[in-house]
Amino acid sequence: MRAAFTKMHGLGNDFVVLDARAADLPVITTGFARAITDRRTGIGCDQLIVLEPSDTADLRMRIFNPDGGEVGACGNATRAVALLHGSAVQIETGGGILNARPGDGGATVDMGQPRFDWDAIPLAYPMDTLAMPVGWEALDNPTAVNVGNPHAVFFIPDCDAVDLAQIGPVIEQDPLFPERVNVNVATVTDRDHIRLRVWERGAGITRACGTGACATAVAAMRRNLTDREVTVTLPGGDLQIVWGEDNRIRMTGPATEAYRGSFEWDDFA
């Protein structure tokens, strides 16, 4: 069968979006997710996004990493889906129901409440998640946060100096993180500004990670390194993150539709 897709971007973090509400699609297998996201032989993207009907929200968003694994949250894709939807929308995700609203060339998303308990990250055994007594080479003492997906955040003087391609996969796959982890290296430049690079679980280095920006902002706020409203600058651009008094994280930033196309399903099955 021929399937239609939309290529979307959120700060250079790019997605192939399939709408299973518009057409009956075959089951998404690990092999299909790997093939379609592969930049050498597939259409290529950082995450495959599949939209489905939902019983509890306006739509359900499923998220697949290039390693084929399905995960609970993707901040940049949530903004992209809000833009595609065109008006305020409730989106069911593996991490909960998110409210999103398009506007100003992007969208604002209520990403919900962060979780800090060791077994909610999850970690393999109990420890203080605010200042974890662990380290890998020059990176140590991270903060762990779950924002629908697991993140470890390292605050360091210069995040550009880290060889993320080398150390990222080592931390991602450490047995301390039974569901693996997204690795964030961050530099606080001011009480309202953070620079951030991310090694994404199941994807590698991306130009931006929305949940990474949320997790990093909340970690910085918990450590009293910043105020409750910050700009997070990623290689792909800026996100505004607010951690409200209601304990909810709100993320605002750009999203764009790149192009539409179609492919033969059997070529990737």
* Residues placed in the known binding site: 13, 47, 65, 75-76, 149, 182, 200-201, 210-211
* Residue 201 near ligand LBFN2T5F by CB under 6 A: yes
* Residue 231 near ligand LBFN2T5F by CB under 6 A: no
* Residue 253 near ligand LBFN2T5F by CB under 6 A: no
Q: State which of positions 16-55 bind ligand LBFN2T5F (CB under 6 A).
A: 46-47
Torsion, CA 246, CA 111, CA 171, CA 125, rounded to 10: 50
Figure out which of the listed residues 93, 149, 187, 216 binds ligand LBFN2T5F, where binding follows CB under 6 A.
149
Figure out which of the listed residues 45, 62, 75, 194 binds ligand LBFN2T5F, where binding follows CB under 6 A.
75
Token pair recorded at residue 146: 């779950």
How far apart, in whole angstroms, are the C-alpha atoms of residue 122 and residue 131? 15
How far apart, in whole angstroms, are the C-alpha atoms of residue 199 and residue 193? 20
The three-state DSSP-derived secondary structure of 110-173 is EEECCECCCCCCCCCCCCCCCCCCCEECCEECCEEEECCCEEEEEECCCHHHCCHHHHHHHHHC
**Nearest approach, Cβ of residue 215 and ligand LBFN2T5F (Å):** 9
Which active-site residues does the annotation give?
74, 209
Using CB under 6 A, list all residues that contact ligand LBFN2T5F: 13, 46-47, 63, 65, 71, 74-76, 149, 182, 200-203, 206, 209-211
